[in-house]
Structure 1
């Protein structure tokens, strides 16, 4: 089922159930679907996160959707694409803050809600670059599929890990998933338009929304190494600057297996 959204720059397609909204939208992207297509599912059975982590949530307990973006090549060269996950995390954080949640973005793009017993994850994001179909000489170029999963109505007993939470738990009431979806999408496309026009426009807002900067962190690296220091900045390409006794180290999202508090 497709839902027209008036003047909004997106069209929403709702699927009763699917293994992965990212997989569905990636296929549509390869077939030439336009920017602004959003695929939402009532029940995702094989969601994927960073490093191919998978999960399944109970029916109607989460807001799970993917957004198709096609950054114009003449304005957004490939080296700017690593900012897309941060942009998405900032958009969700901004929307949830406007809904009254104490949200913050953990670098690069997890969304947390602050509580008396610490920060708990409420949203995960996975951005995938989809190339044009092999042999294609016309039509749209590369696309970004932005997959977003927000825990909306999960109960404490349904949480996948003790460090997770849901909007219902945090608010103590019912959550209108449709209203949250529209709010997040509108903020996402506003941030996206700003970013396309000016690559530096979102960095100040991201810094203000960060739940990572200024904290002692431990980055677990591929191969078993670790990097411990203070997260001090996010650079122009979206990489995290960690200040250690040996000096500043810069890591990208692909360089880190896990980023956790040092203590």
Structure 2
């Protein structure tokens, strides 16, 4: 079903992992998708090609996040490549992680985490709302770690997602008068290339990750993308200001 036909979406970090899953799903649903990437242009172009091969429409735009002027530069590219056609769906998915725990993380890495995971979504959205049509959608990709200390050593990363959750809740009231919904979707452990090094290191690691879910398996990008697609659709029109648990019951 082409439930998003005629809509335009931007997915930050849309070239790989969860972001790619979201971009491809929105493309299948009929949206024209701007696939943002930070550094991996080839992956973004491959995502665009996959969307187009399925009958959808997409284009890639590259801009590193977490640096000065990132949001303005991203939107300048979007306006140029989209034909200044406006926006209906903004998915703030781009983010970075860290292996450094509380005792190891330094100030530079801490600042980089917040710059990419919390500051960039704020200003990308701030500059994007003038392009976002009334009745539009903002979906922020959070984490199950912002609500439960399942991996307490990753405290700095969890804090960035906690900040994103507060942003989501308050922004829903700011944009509500325009009929724009704002929600956060929180994945658990997902089988992506970012997690592959430790997740696929051994059968024990995989089994341990699967055991965290009430459903007894590791999540896929598609599991998260389908939740985002619901929130982006007309069916999600009455859901806003929410933190949607997409951890597969890891917090149950």
Q: State the structure with more CA Rg.
A: 1
The TM-score, its normalising length taken from structure 1, stands at 0.30
The TM-score, its normalising length taken from structure 2, stands at 0.30
Q: Higher relative contact order by CA 8 Å / sep ≥ 6: 1 or 2?
A: 2
Q: Which has the higher helix share?
A: 2
Q: Which has the higher strand share?
A: 1
